[in-house]
Every structure is written in structure tokens, then in C-alpha cells.
């Protein structure tokens, strides 16, 4: 139960004397006996043996899943919660299965499962936790997609196949907790926790030969010793110890105090503020050494383990602990507090919105801020230590490590910047020759996705203009001049920022291009609206026609001073009077669609011309007939304000 070892540190409160099991006992009975004594690793082995013998019911699968969860291996519990749920649906199994799905990064499945649980739930504790988690899962995408520019690397000098966590620095050495001891703890099958030391200068080296045990007086045999905190210039240490066997039947993770005198550490003594019925663990001092933060599941908290604090007076006495309240603490678990040199508080929590298990959070006023990836992962990420500006250490059991928990370093790299620009040109089209020439002194407006003006510019003598843009945004650029149709083009930076790994310079300019072509407004000159098609013998607006009509709607919005006639034409096949009626219905249908988009009905009229105005007279081929079947608009009026 490494989380219990960590938070710790956590160990088991019961004596681990093993009662002899006769050969007649079943694997399930043996597993239950170990489970009841919190010996989860042998319990797992017995339950697995039971499954291999065909005992696949709800009870054995649920107990196996619980043994994994309680020994801090929740991802491995998923398949067994699912098997238990398939065999018998219970409220707790539904809830636990949802949490195991999240622990494996299956966020959508976890949200669905927890919502299914809430639909039938009655257990108030689980309901509160499930509601919290459903809300938290909605923020996963935001956490994952927010860049933090951290570089995370394992610390090879400290890490082994065992677990390492809770790094602190004293006298240019990193003191950390590790389960590398040979004697195994039956709670999780790893060794008992002890304190070890490695020089700071060696943390980047692969050779672990410089690691040595911390003071012998503080590494008791078959006892968990972990998570040290120092004050009084390193002469006073508070740390967590568990599995002492001195308080049978109650949780025995407590905080101990030792003094460095005459060159050695004193025999540890229990801190006065421990709660005999609670887990008290993961201590951390404030920079001035007067306030001690720690994690505890004592009464008076928000649920689970909370962050508490106690102050040290001039006489060396600790005050009555005070809960940090519901902004920092949740119905879940908060642990591993750490206070940086600038007095910023950091915590690990599985109750605030995170990626799975414990995540690391920074406290800023009333805000609890997830540290994001890659510091946080779907695993447990905790026990952060800040060693300088934007750098430090933390622990994680993420995939790819050497053991259960490993120590990692992190440093924030300076992000390479990307600036976006759009370089545009305004041209005038000659309708007679269909050629274009640059157009100077034209007003160009940059609009955001909501159609609001961001800024504007005037095209220079060669028709050129430039706007600087934000990343991941959608814009439009519009050129306008009296007597001309306004020209509009989209400009998109969304999805165009290269990955940091592809950027070679501190600042990279990305320049987009666009061309805006203005055409004169000529009254009563027909302009074809392309790609307006109707189903045979119908006047309904099809989806493909709506796309084209939307462009005409935008033209009317961009040119508010014009009034138009929209006309529909048929080919010469069919009866004249029928074609006339059909074209009128089609024109009116298009006009009704445009009016439905907010265009004033006074600015547009419908006119069906049937086959009376062919583009190709005496059409014979299908292509010629298609040219005659068309939709056009003509400007019938231009207000003086244009």
C-alpha cells in the first residue's frame, strides 16, 4: 500500500504476525485472513490462486480489486472490479469501477460509469465523491491541452526497482524515502521504507553507488521511516513512522521528532499533536521554520486526508492543529504539502481536477492550480520539491519508471515564441478584361470569429497591408470602398502553430497571405450565384444550395446600401407557363431563406423568368441547358451612403 506508505507513510496499523494456515483452508479463506490484517500482497496471491481454480464470483473479484486499491495499485484493480460488477451489481462496486477507469486514463468511460452509479446511488459518501469526480473529469482536456514547457527526467542516482519518493535537501544532499530494504512489508510486497541520501551533485548521474542510508537511529528495522522535514538550520527533523506495532487495532502512522546533537540524531519521540486514531504523515515546514504542515485523516476535516498546520512557539511547543479548509481540502485526499522559499504552498491531491491518482497542485490565493503535464500524469504524482526558479524534483509511479515510485527532476524551458501575421493585397478587377491591378488607399478591417472589429488598416500605394494575429484564432479580413462590392476572406491561425520541437529559433514569424479583389457595383448587371441546384420539379432549398446562399447573405451584410433582385431561370425544355411558375417559386424560396438569416425583406425581391432569358439561345447540349438553369442577382438600388 504505497500510498499508505507514502502518506504515511503509511504502513499498517496492525501487527503482522502471520497465523499458520492449515492445508485444508481454501485460497479465499487464506486471502480473507491476510486481507483482514491488511497484508494485501499475500491476500492478492491467494485470491489470484482462487481465480485460477475457477472461483470467479463477485466476492473474490471484489476483494482482489480492493487489495490492489488499498495497496495503492488502483489501475490493476480495474479488471477485477469489472468482473465483480458483471457477477453482481452493487453500489460500491459501481463507484470503485468508475474510479479505476479514471486511474487508467479512460476518462470518458469513467465519466459514463460514475454517472450510471449516481443514477442509482444512495451512499452519501460515495455520492459526494462521484459528483466531485464527474465535475473534475470535465476539466481533463483543459489540463492536458495547456502547455507548461516543463522538461521531466528521472533521477538515475536515486531510483531503483523499489519505490523512491519525498526528496528534501539538507547540506547539499538529497534525502529521500525508499523501499529498497530486503525485508518485505506484507502490505504491498515491497521492502520497508527507510531514509537514504545522495549528493545533489550526483542526481544527474546514472551511478547509484553514492547513495547511502541516512542516520541509523532513524532507520528502524521492519518499520516504515519516511518523508522527513527539517527546521532549526537542519538540527530538528520531523518525519513519519509507521508499522511500529505499538498501537494494535488503530492506525499507527505518526509524526516523530529527532534532534541532531553532538554529531548524531537522537532517539525519535512522538510529536505532541499526533491523533492516536488518525494517520498523521508527510510533514513540511514553512521557510521560517515556525509552521509545520502535514496530512491527516483526523476528525474535523473535509473527508479523506486533509492538509493541516500547527505552529511552533519559542519554547518548542506545537499548537493545536488547524485544518486548511475546503478551498484546499476536498472530500478526496490531500497530502505531501510543501512550502517553497517564496512561501507558495504545493500539495498532492486526488480530489481536485486532475489526470488520475494524485496530481501536484500549486496554491495561489483562493486558487488551486493543477501543475499540468508532464509533471502530472495518469499515475500518482506527488512530493514536489522546488530547488530554484522553475526547477526541482517530484515523485511519480508513471509508466516507464524503474520501480513503483521514482524520483524525477523537472526544469521549465523557455518556450519558443511564434508570431502570426497576415500579409494581404487589395486588387481591383476590370470586368471587361477580367484583369486585376493593385488598389491603393482602401480601408481593410480585421474581424474576429464573432464578427467584431479587431483593428483596421489602409492599403498602401501597391495595395498591400499587414495585420498581426493571435495564435489558434479565426479571423476575416474585409476590404471596402464606396461604389465597390466589399471583399472578404477568412484567415485562420488555428492548428498552425508548429510543435516546440520543430522550432529552431527563440522567435518564429509565420506569415499568411490573402488577396481581396474589389469589383464595381453596376446597377442591373446580372451576377450568377453559382451552384444553386434544386431537386427535380421542387423549389425547396437544399443543403448545398444553402451554403451558396449564405455567401450572398454575407454580401448583403457587407454591403448594407444595396438592394437586389434575385432571379431564377429554367432551360427551354417543358411548358413555358410551367417553367415560369417553377422559376418564381424557386426564386421566392431562395429569397425567403435569405430573409430568414436576418436580411431586411425590403432589400430583396424574387423574380422568376422561366425560360425567357436564356444565356445560350437554341441550347442543344446538356451543358448548354445547365448554363440556362441558373440563379442570379442584380443590384437594383444603391443608397447614397454607399
Count Cβ atoms within 10 A of the Cβ of residue 98 and give its class: 0-12 exposed, 13-18 middle, 19 or more buried.
Answer: buried
**Quick one: pLDDT at residue 343?**
95
pTM of the full structure: 0.68
CA distances 474 to 509, 513, 555, 556, Å, are 18, 14, 19, 21
- Average of pLDDT values for 201-222? 82
Nearest to 336 by CA among 312, 305, 314: 305
Bond into 641 cis (ω within 30) = no
**Quick one: pLDDT at residue 470?**
96
Nearest to 340 by CA among 301, 276, 391, 279: 391
Count Cβ atoms within 10 A of the Cβ of residue 64 and give its class: 0-12 exposed, 13-18 middle, 19 or more buried.
Answer: buried
- Average of pLDDT values for 490-513? 93
- Average of pLDDT values for 108-131? 94
**Quick one: pLDDT at residue 140?**
95
Task: Note the pLDDT tens digit of each residue in 171-206.
Answer: 999 999 999 988 988 888 899 999 999 999 888 776
Place of cell 520539491: 385
pLDDT at 83 over 90: yes
DSSP characters for 190-238? SBPPEEEEEEGGGTT-S--TT-EE--GGGS-TTSEEEEEEEETTTTEEE
- Average of pLDDT values for 82-94? 94
CA distances 313 to 108, 283, 317, 322, Å, are 50, 17, 5, 15
Task: Note the pLDDT tens digit of each residue in 542-583.
Answer: 888 899 999 999 999 999 999 999 999 998 888 999 999 999
Distance between CA atoms of 552 and 541, rounded to whole angstroms?
14
- Average of pLDDT values for 121-141? 93
pLDDT at 25 over 70: no
Other CB atoms within 10 A of residue 262 CB: 5
The cell for 403 is: 520501480
- Average of pLDDT values for 109-135? 94
Domains and CATH numbers, the chain: 2-144 (1.25.40.10), 150-412 (2.120.10.30), 417-520 (2.60.40.10), 527-638 (3.30.1330.60)
The cell for 461 is: 500605394
Count Cβ atoms within 10 A of the Cβ of residue 485 and give its class: 0-12 exposed, 13-18 middle, 19 or more buried.
Answer: buried
Distance between CA atoms of 295 and 307, rounded to whole angstroms?
5
CA distances 357 to 159, 202, 380, 473, Å, are 21, 30, 5, 34
Task: Note the pLDDT tens digit of each residue in 233-282.
Answer: 999 999 999 987 654 434 479 999 999 999 999 999 999 999 998 999 99
Distance between CA atoms of 167 and 402, rounded to whole angstroms?
17
Cross-strand partners of 562: 638
Distance between CA atoms of 230 and 292, rounded to whole angstroms?
10
**Quick one: pLDDT at residue 315?**
86
Task: Note the pLDDT tens digit of each residue in 4-23.
Answer: 444 433 333 223 233 333 33
**pLDDT grade for 145, boundaries at 50, 70 and 90:** confident
Torsion sign across C-alpha atoms 93, 95, 97, 103: negative
**Quick one: pLDDT at residue 23?**
31
**What do you get for the CA distance between the two ends of the chain, in Å?**
77
Distance between CA atoms of 299 and 321, rounded to whole angstroms?
11
Yes or no: say if 469 and 421 are a contact pair by the CB < 8 Å rule. Answer: yes
Yes or no: say if 382 and 336 are a contact pair by the CB < 8 Å rule. Answer: yes
The enclosing H or E element of 44 equals helix 40-52
**Quick one: pLDDT at residue 206?**
63
**Quick one: pLDDT at residue 12?**
33
**Quick one: pLDDT at residue 414?**
85
The enclosing H or E element of 408 equals strand 406-412
Listed range (17-31, 124-138, 440-454, 493-507) with the worst mean pLDDT: 17-31
**Quick one: pLDDT at residue 56?**
78
What is the distance, to the nearest Å, from the Cα of residue 340 to the centroid of all Cα atoms in its chain?
Answer: 25
Q: Pinpoint the alpha helices (H) of 54-190.
A: 58-70, 74-87, 91-103, 107-120, 124-137, 140-144
pLDDT at 510 over 60: yes
Average pLDDT of every residue of the chain? 90
Opening angle at CA 418, ends 417 and 419, nearest 5: 120
**Quick one: pLDDT at residue 9?**
36
**Quick one: pLDDT at residue 3?**
46
Other CB atoms within 10 A of residue 413 CB: 11
Amino acid at each position: 500500500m504505497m500510498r499508505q506508505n507514502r502518506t504515511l507513510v503509511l504502513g499498517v496499523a496492525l501487527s503482522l504476525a502471520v497465523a499458520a494456515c492449515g492445508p485444508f483452508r481454501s485460497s479465499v479463506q487464506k486471502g480473507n485472513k491476510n486481507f483482514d490484517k491488511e497484508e494485501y500482497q499475500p491476500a492478492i496471491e491467494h485470491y489470484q490462486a482462487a481465480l485460477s481454480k475457477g472461483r470467479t464470483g463477485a466476492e473474490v473479484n471484489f476483494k482482489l480489486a480492493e487489495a490492489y486499491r488499498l495497496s495503492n495499485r488502483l489501475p490493476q484493480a480495474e479488471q477485477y472490479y469489472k468482473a465483480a460488477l458483471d457477477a453482481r451489481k452493487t453500489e460500491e462496486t459501481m463507484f470503485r469501477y468508475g474510479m479505476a477507469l479514471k486511474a487508467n486514463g479512460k476518462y470518458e468511460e469513467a465519466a459514463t460509469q460514475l454517472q450510471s452509479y449516481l443514477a442509482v446511488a444512495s451512499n452519501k459518501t460515495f455520492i459526494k465523491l462521484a459528483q466531485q469526480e464527474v465535475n473534475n473529469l470535465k476539466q481533463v482536456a483543459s489540463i492536458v491541452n495547456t502547455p507548461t514547457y516543463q522538461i521531466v527526467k528521472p533521477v538515475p542516482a536515486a531510483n531503483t526497482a523499489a519505490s523512491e519518493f519525498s526528496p528534501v535537501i539538507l547540506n547539499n544532499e538529497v534525502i529521500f524515502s525508499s523501499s529498497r530494504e530486503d525485508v518485505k512489508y506484507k502490505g504491498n510486497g515491497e521492502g520497508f521504507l527507510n531514509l537514504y541520501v545522495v549528493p545533489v551533485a550526483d542526481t544527474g548521474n546514472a551511478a547509484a553507488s553514492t547513495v547511502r542510508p541516512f542516520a541509523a537511529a532513524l532507520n528502524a528495522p521492519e518499520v516504515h521511516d519516511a518523508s522527513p522535514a527539517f527546521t532549526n538550520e537542519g538540527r530538528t527533523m520531523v518525519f513519519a513512522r509507521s508499522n511500529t506495532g505499538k498501537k494494535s487495532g488503530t492506525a499507527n502512522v505518526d509524526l516523530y521528532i529527532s534532534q541532531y546533537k553532538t554529531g548524531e540524531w537522537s532517539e525519535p519521540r512522538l510529536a505532541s499533536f499526533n491523533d492516536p486514531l488518525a494517520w498523521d504523515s508527510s510533514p513540511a515546514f514553512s521557510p521560517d521554520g515556525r509552521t509545520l504542515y502535514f496530512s491527516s485523516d483526523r476528525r474535523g476535516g473535509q473527508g479523506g486526508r486533509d492538509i493541516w498546520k500547527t505552529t511552533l512557539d519559542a519554547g518548542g511547543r506545537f499548537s493545536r492543529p488547524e485544518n486548511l479548509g475546503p478551498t484546499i481540502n476536498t472530500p478526496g485526499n490531500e497530502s505531501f504539502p510543501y512550502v517553497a522559499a517564496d512561501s507558495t504552498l504545493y500539495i498532492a491531491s486526488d480530489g481536485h481536477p486532475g489526470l488520475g491518482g494524485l496530481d501536484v497542485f500549486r496554491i495561489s490565493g483562493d486558487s488551486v492550480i493543477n501543475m499540468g503535464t508532464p509533471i502530472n500524469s495518469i499515475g500518482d504524482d506527488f512530493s514536489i520539491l522546488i530547488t530554484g526558479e522553475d526547477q526541482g524534483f517530484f515523485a511519480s509511479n508513471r509508466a516507464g519508471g524503474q520501480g513503483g515510485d521514482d524520483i524525477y527532476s523537472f526544469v521549465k524551458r523557455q518556450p519558443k515564441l511564434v508570431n502570426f501575421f497576415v500579409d494581404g493585397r487589395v486588387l481591383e478587377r476590370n470586368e471587361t478584361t477580367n484583369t486585376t491591378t493593385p488598389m491603393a488607399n482602401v480601408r481593410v478591417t480585421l474581424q474576429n470569429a464573432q464578427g467584431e472589429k479587431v483593428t483596421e488598416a489602409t492599403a498602401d500605394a501597391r495595395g498591400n497591408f499587414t495585420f498581426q494575429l493571435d495564435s489558434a484564432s479565426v479571423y476575416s479580413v474585409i476590404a471596402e470602398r464606396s461604389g465597390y462590392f466589399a471583399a472578404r476572406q477568412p484567415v485562420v491561425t488555428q492548428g498552425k502553430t508548429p510543435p516546440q520541437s520543430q522550432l529552431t529559433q527563440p522567435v518564429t514569424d509565420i506569415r499568411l497571405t490573402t488577396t481581396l479583389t474589389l469589383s464595381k457595383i453596376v446597377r442591373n448587371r446580372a451576377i450568377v450565384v453559382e451552384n444553386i441546384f434544386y431537386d427535380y420539379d421542387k423549389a425547396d432549398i437544399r443543403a448545398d444550395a444553402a451554403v451558396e446562399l449564405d455567401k450572398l447573405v454575407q454580401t448583403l451584410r457587407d454591403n448594407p446600401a444595396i438592394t437586389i433582385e434575385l432571379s431564377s431561370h429554367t432551360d427551354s425544355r417543358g411548358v413555358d407557363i410551367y417553367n415560369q411558375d417553377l422559376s418564381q417559386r424557386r426564386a421566392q424560396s431562395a429569397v425567403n431563406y435569405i430573409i430568414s438569416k436576418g436580411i431586411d425583406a425590403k432589400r430583396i425581391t424574387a423574380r422568376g423568368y422561366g425560360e425567357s432569358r436564356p444565356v445560350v439561345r437554341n441550347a442543344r447540349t446538356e451543358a448548354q441547358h445547365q448554363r440556362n438553369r441558373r440563379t442570379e442577382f442584380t443590384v437594383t438600388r444603391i443608397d447614397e451612403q454607399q
